[in-house]
Structure 1
């Protein structure tokens, strides 16, 4: 009888250990279903030097310009996916994730677009037609300028960029590679201020020191062209930066200067 009683007591203890966590989870879930939004916590990721949007801009997107304040709303009634879509309507935003935490906050994590270049609309003779233009992201996507911040980046122009979809297909891939190169190589990033590409993809570059126009040809095999240019800069132009105004490396194994 004693063994039977001990066994029953042991079984009861084990049952309680199983039931208590389940009861706790149930109470927590019940509390969460009634929990209301206490705050909007917004973080903006991206280039640390570029602030196209601030937290107030994101808040206005999130709340439909204040029409849906969210604070005080029951979290279980808030459609997080819908909030993400609201924020992502702004083309300055690349990614957005919205979720709630255990403190009752609605957390919004935003990633900005990353500007690789800025397209300016020009006429055939190179005159700027307007000052608006667009940024080109590091993925080849055109996105609008910001009222809050103007990124210092490479300027691009020419008929090639009049069809933005080109930058995301095979024809535009070499041009995108070239833009990445001009943004990452320390020397050429400082030296090249503007890139112009005509409708056939023939590229010319404008420089800072010497104010030269460099005729690059198409973007294919740009690495070898810039190697030739760098040797020419080191051996010739470094002696007299204003000696030539036009330099062409578009022909294989040749450098033509005027």
Structure 2
């Protein structure tokens, strides 16, 4: 009997270690739920220097332009999931997480979309028709331009970018890899002003120094093409940047200049 009582007492003590924390959490949640919203704490993450949205923009999304104010509202009456969905409706926002803290604040963590390239509508001869267009993120997803901020990124144009589905094909993935290369390589990032891809994926590049139009061809083998072009720049064009207006490296084993 004494052994049984000892086992029961040990089991009771162990149960307390489990029950008390759970009960404490439940009481804390109950008190937190009865609190009223003291403040909205909004943080916006994204690329350094990109300001597509500010805290006021996010506040307007949370409150539906002020029609559903949150300050002073009981926290247990606030649907955090609904708030997240409101914010995510803005396509300049990639991720949003909304939660409550122990001080009675509603905390909103927002991550902006990161522009990988910017598509500009052009005419048949390459002239910009207007400033309308969209950004493309690194996953090939289109998102709109911002009224308040214009990101400095690679300009792309041409019919290939009018269909987002093409960026998911093998040819599109290679093109996105090439754009990533242009964004990451210091020399070509400074040299290439615009990338144009026609409906077949054939690429033309417009350069800054020398103002050349480069007939690049398909994106396949882009790394070796750029290496070959870099050598041509260093050995030939560096002596006279305006010597040629058009350069073709469409074919792997030759460079044709005009």
Tell me the TM-score normalised to structure 1 length.
0.90
For the pair 1:63 / 2:63, whether they are aligned, the reply is yes
Residues 1:21 and 1:236: Cα distance change in structure 2 (over 3 Å):
closer
What is the match of residue 235 of structure 2?
235
Map of 1:88 onto structure 2: 88
Deviations along 1:161-187, whole A, 9 cap, x unmatched? Answer: 111221123231011001111111000
Matches of 2:154 and 2:163, distance apart in 1 = 19
| Structure 1 position 256 matched with structure 2 position 256 | yes
- Partner SS for 1:121: strand
What secondary structure is seen at the aligned counterpart in 1 of 2:130?
coil
Please say if 1:39 is aligned against 2:61: no
Distance 1:23 1:249, change over 3 A: closer
The alpha carbon displacement at 1:78 in A equals: 1.1
Task: Spell out, residue by residue over 1:28-51, the C-alpha distance to the aligned partner (whole angstroms, 9 max, x if none).
Answer: 233122112111100111101101
Aligned match of 1:4: none
Query: Are residues 152 and 22 of structure 1, via their aligned partners in 2, closer, same or farther at CA, if it must alter by over 3 Å?
Result: closer
Structure 1: runs of 5 or more not aligned: 1-6
Q: C-alpha displacement at 1:136, in angstroms?
A: 1.0
Pair 79,238 (structure 1): closer, same or farther in 2 beyond 3 Å: same
Report the counterpart of residue 156 of structure 2 in structure 1: 156
Question: 1: CA distance between counterparts of 2:199 and 2:246?
Answer: 21
User: Do structure 1's residue 139 and structure 2's residue 139 form an aligned pair?
Assistant: yes
What's the Cα RMSD here? 2.2
Question: Residue 22 of structure 1: CA displacement?
Answer: 6.4
Which ranges in structure 2 are unaligned for 5 or more consecutive residues? 1-5
Determine whether 1:99 maps to 2:94. Answer: no
The alpha-carbon distance between structure 1 residues 190 and 77, as it changes in their structure 2 partners (threshold 3 A), is same
Which residue pairs with 2:122 in the alignment? 122
Q: Is the 8 A contact 2:212 2:246 kept in 1?
A: yes
Secondary structure of the residue that 2:30 maps to in structure 1? helix
Deviations 1:129-167 (A, max 9, x none): 221111111111111111111111111111111112211
Change (3 A) 1:212 1:71: same
Q: Provide the C-alpha distance between the structure 1 equivalents of 2:160 and 2:23, rounded to a whole number of angstroms.
A: 66
The aligned counterpart of 2:172 is 172
Q: Calculate the TM-score normalised by the size of structure 2.
A: 0.90
> Cα distance 1:73–1:235, how it changes in 2: closer, same or farther (>3 A)?
same
